[in-house]
Each structure stands twice: as structure tokens, then as C-alpha cells.
Amino acid sequence: MTRFSQVALIQNPASGNGGEPPRLAVRNELTAAGCLWKELVVEPDRSIAIRTSELLREGVDLIVVAGGDGTVREVASTLVGKPVPLLIIPLGTFNNFARSLSLPADPIGACQLVHTGALRQVDVGTANGRHLFFEAAGVGVDAELFPLGEAVKQGRFAAIFRAVRLAFVHQQTAVELNFDRPIDRAYQHSFRGQSPVRHRRGRFRNNRRRIRLRGSAGAGGGKWRCRLCDCRVVRSERHRGNRRVRCQ
């Protein structure tokens, strides 16, 4: 018997390339557990955030999302500050958020967390004061290349030429990172808090809560990538000729 009685399953058929079988397996697993209360299928013309808000008003006590990172982000953004937990069934292409949380890659194994999983809190990042992110946020050329990559995935291959041009003409970008606690304390509670900070060590001293970083020169103008899941803190490293900043 599961501790949740009103579980809502949100499925996105457009996520990943596994087709119907894994989605059917997830539905059957939750039904067999006796907790599946309602199932919603993502539709292109209906807002996932609005439908999630409707579930909250109807009394859902657990939301299960079977989809990719985009679907998970929309649902998770609606749940920020709410008492209802989220369970991720990784059925997308990359499933970065689920990977960063070390969730089971097998859909059935992930469903078992309804019975055995422990609730945990994760940090939420805010970009420009309004965009929430959970696993990563890109600025500069990384952010501008992302929609072009999505266009290529959809078969619009002309975007490749725009991406190549952008990589050479883009100017480097400065970014300021603000934390809700001293950076050194956040690092100590991160997944790598037992390891020493090997780069930009001075930035983590004296109870600082804010750091300002600037991309490196050269093709692409620098690339910053901020991973703030579970108090991960920034350090920089070389990556393919560019300087990358990671929250770890």
C-alpha cells in the first residue's frame, strides 16, 4: 500500500523516442499500486502549468511526470513553494534533471519510488528574476544556440548554418550569481562538498553570497553553465578551449 492516495500522472507522448510501450508500462505500474487517481496527456495547445495548477486545486498529493526535461521543468515550476511532491519518470531524450538527482533510468524502477522513495528538497535557480531553472541555465552563446539545436532536432537543418555563424560573432557575456547562503556553506552541503575547491578558490571565502564572472575570449565568446541542483556551487574549468563555470 502506497502512502499517496491521489496520484496524478502527466504523460508527454512527444518526449523521447521510446513510443507507447514505456508510457503504458508506467500507467499499469501505478494502477497496480492502487494509487493512480488521474492521468493527463500533454497536448500542444494546452498549458502544462495551468493543468498542474488545476490538479493542485483538486487535491492531488503526488504528481508523477513521465517525460523529458522540458515537461518536468514546466510542472516543477508550478510546484515551487507548494507541499505536493514531484516524481520524475525519465522518458525524455537526455533526462538531465533525473540524472543529476540519481533517479532510476528504468521507468518501472522509478515508479517504485512511489512506495520506497524518500522526499528530498532541491534548490531552485532564478534567471533575470523570472525564469526558474532546476538543473542548468545557459547564458551567452549557450542560451542563443539552444533554440537552434531544438530546430535541428525538428528537422530544420538550415539552423546549423546560423549556429556556426553565431559561434564566431557572439560577444562574451558577464554573469552575476547570487546565492541564498554563503557560497562556502552551500558548497559544503553539495554533492561534492567533501572535495576541495581547486579553481577560483578565493571566490569561496569570507561568507560571500555573490560572484561576478565573465566569459573567455575567442570563438564562441565564452560559455557559462550554471548547475544549481541541490546546493551545487560554482567553480570553473577548461572545456574544449572555453572556460565553463559549474555549480557542483
Summarize pLDDT for 181-209 with one digit per residue, the tens.
Answer: 887 777 676 655 555 555 545 555 556 77
pLDDT confidence bin for 22, thresholds 50/70/90 = very high
Q: Are residues 33 and 100 in the same domain?
A: yes
- Rounded Cα distance between 189 and 232, Å, is 8
Mean pLDDT, rounded, of the chain: 77
> How many domains does one find in the chain?
2
What's residue 189's pLDDT?
65
How would residue 89 be classed by pLDDT, with cut points 50, 70 and 90? very high
Burial (0-12, 13-18, 19+ Cβ within 10 Å), 50: exposed
Residue-number span of the structural domain to which 21 is assigned: 7-120
pTM value is 0.72
Query: Running DSSP on this structure, what letter comes out for residue 119?
Result: P
List, in sequence order, the alpha helices (H) in the chain. Answer: 20-32, 48-58, 69-79, 96-100, 107-111, 113-116, 141-153, 159-169, 183-188
Residue 1 in domain: no
Q: What is the CATH number of the domain that holds 43?
A: 3.40.50.10330
User: Is the domain of 101 the same as that of 26?
Assistant: yes
- Half-sphere exposure of residue 174, counting CA atoms within 13 Å on the CB side? 3
Q: Where a domain ends, among 89, 120, 151? A: 120
Same domain, 85 and 141: no
pLDDT reported for residue 248: 33
Distances (CA, A) of 84 to 23, 32, 78, 113, 148: 22, 22, 10, 15, 35
> Could you tell me what percentage of the chain is helix, strand and coil, using 3-state DSSP and rounding each to the nearest 5?
35, 25, 45
Report yes or no on 195 lying in a domain: yes
**Residues 113 and 16 both lie in one domain:** yes
